[in-house]
Every structure is written in structure tokens, then in C-alpha cells.
Amino acid sequence: MNNKFKLRKTNQFLWRNIAIVAGTFSFIICMLVLVNYIQINRIDPVNTELINSLVQRLEENPNDNQLREQIREMDLLVRKAYFTNQWQVKAGGYLLLLGVIVTAIALQMFYAGKQKLPEVTESEQENIVLFKEKARKWIGLGGFGLVAITLLIAFLTHKELGNQFTQAALVAQSTPEETSDNVEVIEPVKEVAKEESVEKEEPVVEKTAEVVKKEEPKNQETIVAEKKQEVAEKKEPEVKKEAPVKKVADNASYPTKEMMANFPAFRGAGGQGVSYQKNIPTDWDGASGKNVLWKVQVPIHAYNSPVIWGDKLFLSGANATQREVYCYDRNNGKLLWTAKVEGIAGSPAKSPEVTPDTGHAASTVTTDGKSIFAIFANGDIIALDFNGKQKWAKNLGVPDNHYGHSSSLLVYQDKLIVQYDHKKDAKVLALSTANGDELWSTKRKVRVSWSSPVIAQIGENTELILAADPCVASYDVNTGKELWKLDCITGEVGPSVTVGNGIVYALNEYASLVAIKPGANPEVLWEAYDYLSDVPSPVISGDNLIIVTSYGAVVCYDAKSGEISWEQEFGSGFYASPIVANGNVYLLDRDGVMHIFKADKEYQEIAAPALGEKSDMTPAFADGRVYIRGEKHLYCIGK
């Protein structure tokens, strides 16, 4: 090869034109690829506005097959467009490469032809001293600049991260459940919940229960509890509105005499599982009609329980398309009125998916003696007067609850308490009984729950106590301020708490039964794991804590020590919660047999009358009467 410099003769005109054409081609392709790339990034093929609106229309008219086909075609079209765009970018890339190669070759050839023979320049020689001086100067300045910028950023952003991490690790170590509470475990269970796969979740819950078991040494529990409390104190819940301060309220006893004279809510006054009525019958037979004063069919089936105020009995019924509240004359079973719940602003066109064993109206209605309040699985909440006339109604937003919303309502003075623990935005709120205005709302860092609120007088405070994974929490019923919280409960919490002798008892299946001493520093007094419930709530009578399981075991614990006084197995399981009335426990099994036994240290059966109809609902009581909602009928038992 010849290495000597020689001028090449190239067709400069040709190469220049090739370069211009190839360069222009490359530029156009580059622009097209760029536009395509931007298009791809802007369009989400599975989330287009048009298809979303069509899908929404389809949800309103699920039988519109033409619309369904149209959506499918559009979806295919959008996906095709997406992949075509991708293909275009790829193909454009190859074309661009080709264009750039041709341009580069043409330009190289063009400039090769323009090359001139090397010339010896007579320009002044570079001053090496000056160059080195300048280089030193700029290296020095560059170094100073670098140091200044680095230090500035370092001091502005310095966070002692190492120490923060070490401390955070220590905190995480001393509070092991911290890692699995609000952040870590909620989401996976949410995912499981989405799939409505209870079976899959069980191991998770079991695992958590094991963790709790491991934490048995009380000292450690106390430390953990204290730490939790500290955190709880630091992070006060968000209270949207301060309720109007009523000094009288704080010291007023709860439940009120009026409430005790009636049966105004799920599990009676305050939701405590106690009936204050007398002469409760113990003998009836649904099949023969013995002591059945009346029996009526309920128009729409639901799992909520009856409530009573005066001569009136209320309950609700709902399916995917209808929601109704019923008022009966409790003396003769006459349906006095039916209130249809419809046309509520914000109410979704389609009811949310619920499981058959929960239904669209699992929440029991409540009353304050002036109004009836009912809530449904789609988030509709309504207040009706005693004549069935709507006072106010609103939609709280569709609860994201994979079985269906089932927390019942409770009234405290002028406040309607709503436990709204759903996936997206768990909260507890108080609405004005008069107009439905939100008096306060407190966010809750909990998973979805199906338990109901309980209001109890603890010392001088009237506390609203809620149970949901991961905690049992108490709120000031007037302001919604969190009073105390104890992380002690896991899983899909269905049972509500019970309160007796100033102690709060909470439980859930695969977790534990916990006796909590409430207060600023709540304390676990004792824990038990043998008999747990996933649906029925516990009840307390004196020192006897009655735990009912859904598989048929009933156990009496010594409320103070946590020792088992007796245990009894029944053939049928229980979904209804036990109610203490007249010193006896009334417990309805799923076959409709009411097990009546003494709330005592020893098991003593009083009677076991059968309804002759299956039932999962908790009975309501009036003097000399028991009201039971069966699968289809409403019964009045009495003499």
C-alpha cells in the first residue's frame, strides 16, 4: 500500500448530491421516528378515554352485546395501532441507520475530494509557557469550582443517613410488627382480597397469629404497646371538622335510658350485646307455631338484624338493583311502610360485587327514636323519619370491600357513627343525624373490616371502639380524635369488640382473643388462642366472657384471668352474635335453634327452642318478646 499523501479525485458533485439526499432522508426519518416515539409514549393502549367511556356505558347496560363487540373491535384496533407504532419505530431505526451510513460515506468521499496538499503554515508557534500557565489556571479554577459545588450540595443535602438507617433498623427490630403493619402487609392481603380467595389468605393470617404467639412474654408486649402508643400520640389522626363542643355529652352515661328501654342497634344499645328487657321467653317452636305471635315474609332478603324503638321494628333488604327499609308494627307484624332507597346523588349505577353470604345490606339499621338510618353495600346512606319519609340521603363512595360492606350503624346523641373500613380509604366518620353533614372524619390505617362500632362508657369517657386489622382503636366519640390504639388483631376482622368492667375484649379467627386495659397506654391483660371467631361477636356478663365460634364451639372465659370456665360444642355453627338478656345468653345457631343458657361459671342450658327456619341474624328483644329474622321470615316470639 502506498502511504504517501496523494489527492483523490472524486466526483464531488455526485457525492455532494448523494449526501444531501441521504441527509434529508435521514432527517425526515429521524423526525418521523421521533414523532412515533412520542406517540407511543403518550398512548396507553389499555387505558384510552374512548374505550373507558364505552366500558362505563357497558357497565350501565351489561346486556348490550353490540356495544360489547364495538369495544372489542376498538380495543383490537388500539392494540394494533400500538404495535404498528412500535414496528414503525424499529423499521425507522433501520432506515435511519442506512441513511446515516450513506450520508457519512458520501460526506467522507466529498471531503476526500476536497482535500488539499498539506501546507506548512508560517503562523507563530504556540507559546508553550503561556499554554501551560493557562492550563494550570483553569485546572486550578475548575478544581475550586468543583470543590465549592460539591461542598454546597453536600451541606445542603446532608442528612446523616447512616445514623438514620441504623436508628430505623433498631426501631424496626424492637417493633417487629411495624414491618408488617400499615405498609408491608396491607397490600398483599389487598391483592388476595381482590381475588376473593379466602383460602389463600389463611396461611398469612396463621403466620401472623404465630408471630403474636411468639410475642407472649408480657414485658415485651408492654414495651411494644407503649411504643405503638407513642407513635399513635405523635401521629394524631386527621380530623376534618371539630364537632360542636357539648360539655354535657362527656359526662352523660351511655347508653341512655331511652336506648336501654329499646333495642336500637345491632347487638342492642351501644352495640354491646346486652338486652335490658325483661320476661324474655325461652320456649317456642316455629314448626308448630308454639309461642310464635306472628310471622311475616320479608320482601327482600338481607343479613341485617331487626332493631326496635317503641312499637316499631325496622330492618332493611337489598339486592343488586333494589334497596329498601321496612317498618313493622311489632305488635302484629303489619308492614307499616317500605322506603325505597333510590335516586341518591352520587349513587353508582351498578351495585358493587358482593359475595352471597354478605349481600347488599348486611349492615343493621339504627335509630335514635326520631329517625331510622340505613347503609347499603354501594355506599348509600339514608335517614328516614318514623313515617318512612326521607330526611336526608347521600352516597359515601362505593366501599372497596371484596365481600361487601357489613359494618352496622350506631347513633350517639346527634351523631350517626359510620365505620367505613374499606381498601382505598379506611375511616370512621360521624354524620349529623339531622342533616347528614359530616361532623368529623378520622382516617384509619387499617385493612378492610366487617366488624361494627361499639360505644361504651369507660371510666368518665364515652369511647367509640373499633376493631380492624391491625388494631383495636378507641376514638373520642365527640371529636373523632384517636384516644388509644393497640396493634393486636389481624386478618379479616368480622367480630366486633365487647366491653365489660372497663376491659375491652377483641378477637378474630387465626389471630387471638385479647383482653385490653384501655387508656393512654393500652395494655394487653391476657391473650388466648384456643377458640376464636370470624363472624359472631363476643359478649360479657359479669366476669363471664362468652366466645362463640362459627363452627359451633361456645366457650366461657373468666374475663379477668382468661381461664376457660367451660366449653360447649354444638352441632350447628353460629353467625348470629349472642345477646345477654335476663341473665341468660340467647344464641341463635345457623339452623335457627336458639340456645339459651346461663351466663354463669358453669354451663347450664335453659332451653333450645327451634325456629324451624335457618337464620344468621342476631335477634332483637322487647319486654316479653324476641324478634328473629329468619332466612325469609320475620318472627315475633312471645306469650
Partner 1 sequence: MKKIFSIFSLLVLLIMDFAAFAQTQRFPRPEFESGYTQPITSMPEPRAGIFALVDVLLLIAALSLITWFIHKKRSRTGVIITSLFSILYFGFLREGCVCSVGSVQNVVLALFNPGYHIPLSALAFFVIPLVYTLFFGRTFCAGVCPLGAVQDVFLLRPVSLKKWLQKVLGLIPWIYLGLAILYAATGTDFIICRYDPFVGIFRFNATFFMFAIGAAFLLISVFIARPYCRFLCPYGVILNLVSRVSKKHLSITPASCIQCKLCENSCPLDAINKPVEVKQMEDKRSATRRFILLGMIIPALMIIGAWVVSNFHENLAMVNSKVRLANELLHFDSNTMKESLEIEGFRTSGKTKEELYLESAAILKQFYYGSWMLGAFIGLVFGLSLAGLTIYRYREDYEPDKGECVSCARCLKYCPVEK
d(CA 359, CA 504): 29
For the sheet containing 584-588, what is the strand order?
A: 274-275, 579-581, 584-588, 594-598, 605-607
Per the structure block, which three cell numbers stand in for 497? 369488640
DSSP for 23-68, written as a single string: HHHHHHHHHHHHHHHHHHHH--TTS-HHHHHHHHHHHHSTT-HHHH
**Residue from 21, 107, 231, 606 binding partner 1 (CB under 8 A):** 107
- When asked if residue 116 is in the footprint of partner 1 (CB under 8 A), the reply is no
When the beta carbons of 107 and 296 are compared against partner 1, the nearer one is: 107
Segment lying near partner 1 (by CB under 8 A), choices 177-185, 330-338, 462-470, 609-617: 177-185
When the beta carbons of 35 and 607 are compared against partner 1, the nearer one is: 35
SS3 104: helix
When the beta carbons of 155 and 343 are compared against partner 1, the nearer one is: 155
CB of residue 426 vs partner 1: minimum separation in angstroms? Answer: 10
DSSP for 308-371, written as a single string: EETTEEEEEEE-SS-EEEEEEETTT--EEEEEE----TT--SSPPP--TTT-S--SPPEE-SSE
User: Closest Cα partner for 384 from 323, 438, 339, 324?
Assistant: 339
- When asked if residue 4 is in the footprint of partner 1 (CB under 8 A), the reply is yes
Chain positions 303 to 322 lying near partner 1, rule: CB under 8 A, are none
When the beta carbons of 7 and 14 are compared against partner 1, the nearer one is: 7
CB of residue 380 vs partner 1: minimum separation in angstroms? Answer: 27
User: Applying CB under 8 A, what is the total number of residues that bind partner 1?
Assistant: 67
**Residue from 13, 27, 87, 138 binding partner 1 (CB under 8 A):** 138
Per the structure block, which three cell numbers stand in for 282? 325461652
- When asked if residue 240 is in the footprint of partner 1 (CB under 8 A), the reply is no
- When asked if residue 111 is in the footprint of partner 1 (CB under 8 A), the reply is yes
When the beta carbons of 232 and 410 are compared against partner 1, the nearer one is: 232
- When asked if residue 134 is in the footprint of partner 1 (CB under 8 A), the reply is yes
Segment lying near partner 1 (by CB under 8 A), choices 115-123, 211-219, 283-291, 563-571: 115-123
- When asked if residue 278 is in the footprint of partner 1 (CB under 8 A), the reply is no
**Residue from 179, 279, 435, 501 binding partner 1 (CB under 8 A):** 179
SS3 515: strand
d(CA 502, CA 91): 75
Burial of 236: CB neighbours in 10 Å, binned 0-12, 13-18, 19+: exposed
CB of residue 440 vs partner 1: minimum separation in angstroms? Answer: 17
CB of residue 106 vs partner 1: minimum separation in angstroms? Answer: 11
When the beta carbons of 18 and 313 are compared against partner 1, the nearer one is: 18
**Residue from 17, 108, 288, 435 binding partner 1 (CB under 8 A):** 108
Q: Which residues pair with 587 in a beta bridge?
A: 595
CB of residue 135 vs partner 1: minimum separation in angstroms? Answer: 4
- When asked if residue 27 is in the footprint of partner 1 (CB under 8 A), the reply is no
Residue reference for cell 325483661: 278
User: Closest Cα partner for 616 from 536, 532, 506?
Assistant: 536
Q: Which residues does 365 contact at the CB level (< 8 Å), separation at least 6?
A: 304, 307, 314, 315, 316, 325, 372, 373, 374, 408, 409
Q: Would you give the binding string for partner 1 spanning residues 152-171, x where CB under 8 A is met?
A: -xxx-xxx-xx-xxx-xx--
Strands (E) located in 480-583 = 482-487, 498-500, 503-507, 513-517, 523-528, 539-541, 544-548, 553-558, 564-569, 579-581
When the beta carbons of 117 and 248 are compared against partner 1, the nearer one is: 117
- State residue 13 phi and psi, 5-degree precision: -60, -45
d(CA 311, CA 491): 40
Compute the C-alpha angle 352/355/359, nearest 5°: 75
- When asked if residue 238 is in the footprint of partner 1 (CB under 8 A), the reply is yes
When the beta carbons of 304 and 442 are compared against partner 1, the nearer one is: 442
**Residue from 63, 121, 253, 321 binding partner 1 (CB under 8 A):** 121
When the beta carbons of 13 and 94 are compared against partner 1, the nearer one is: 94
Whether the CB-CB separation of 106 and 112 falls below 8 Å is answered with no
Chain positions 439 to 458 lying near partner 1, rule: CB under 8 A, are 443, 445
Pairing type for strands 513-517 and 366-367 reads unpaired
CB of residue 222 vs partner 1: minimum separation in angstroms? Answer: 21
Q: Given the rule CB under 8 A, which residues bind partner 1? A: 1, 3-6, 37, 45-46, 86, 90, 93-94, 104, 107-108, 111, 118, 120-121, 125-129, 131-132, 134-140, 142-143, 147, 150-151, 153-155, 157-159, 161-162, 164-166, 168-169, 172-173, 176, 178-179, 182-188, 235, 238, 443, 445
